[in-house]
Chains A and B, each alone.
Chain A
Amino acid sequence: MTTIILPPYALGLGCTIDHMDGDLPVIGCDYGPRVAGRPGFWHGGALSGLLEMAAVTAVRSALDIEMRRLKPVNVSVQFMRGGVQKRTYAIGRVIREGRRLVNVSAEAWQDDRAKPLARAEMHVMIAAAKA
């Protein structure tokens, strides 16, 4: 297992690597003021940040590429359920791995993984390694 160091933004939000699901990291984040949107619910942006984090760490983990070489190209987030005041989890899955571009999806849930709060489809570019 490769060591994953989460960026300051993720740590600030309260994200941690909760556990590994096979080779894939599951990111966990407690509910708190820093993720709150309308009263009592997660902010959609915080949820999106959690999904992106799961997507990028999945790429980092599956392909063993340093985090700083991974650049987000675009992301499409679908919101399906309001996130209530609970710890929330997210996992990413690499769908296709190209030489420069990786297609990755991510899902976030609370109590029941079969009832996702939100999902994301993301393209991540692999930047050239610095000599």
Chain B
Amino acid sequence: MTASASSNFEPGAPFDFATIADAMKTMGHSAWLDMKRHAEGPDWVEIALPWHADIVADPESGVLASGPIISLMDNATGIAVWKKRGYFLPQVTVDLRVDYMRPARPGATVIGRGECYKITRNFAFVRGTAYDESIDDPIAHVVGSFILVGGEVPA
């Protein structure tokens, strides 16, 4: 489940990617994985996941484990929902499906692009792509949904 509350920002506050990216640097799992703000658009964000020796699947090949890719995409798609809504409101991941196209290149930073393509009264629908050199040569594709659990975008 993506972060939905922190001492650094209040639920219902206007959303700002830079603010949550600062929180991500100090908060638990995201901080351990060293996730950083990379880019953003109206309904999408990109987060960078730098390669680290302690998050690989196989020390010999240096290929990243798939777990950190899911964490990256959970964060990127969850933050994309706030980005589209424009406000920081509570939400919970319902499901996330990940297709792994190829291993990440050893040593390369992985970029996770999350997009929120539809919001209904109760749900947000997301998709995303993880890549290193080019988004046209993806590492993984994801699709998922979040349930919106209280709070409304101010009229």
Contacts and interface: CB of A to CB of B under 8 A. Distances in A.
B4 A72 contact: no
A35 B97 CA distance: 20
A52 B94 contact: no
B136 interface: no
14 contacts: A7-B65, A8-B53, A8-B54, A37-B1, A37-B27, A38-B1, A43-B1, A43-B71, A44-B96, A45-B67, A45-B72, A49-B66, A71-B100, A79-B1
The B interface is mostly helix, strand or loop, or mixed, namely mixed
Contacts of A79: 1, 92-96
B95 A35 contact: no
Contacts of A73: 99-100
Say which size band chain B's interface belongs to.
35 or more
Contacts of B96: 44, 48, 76-77, 79
Interface stretch (B37-45, B56-64, B79-87, B119-127): B56-64
Given A43-B28, A49-B71, 17 more contacts: A7-B59, A13-B67, A33-B31, A43-B74, A45-B71, A45-B75, A48-B74, A49-B70, A52-B67, A71-B100, A75-B98, A76-B98, A77-B70, A79-B93, A79-B95, A79-B96, A82-B92
Interface of B: 1-7, 27-32, 53-61, 64-68, 70-75, 92-100, 103
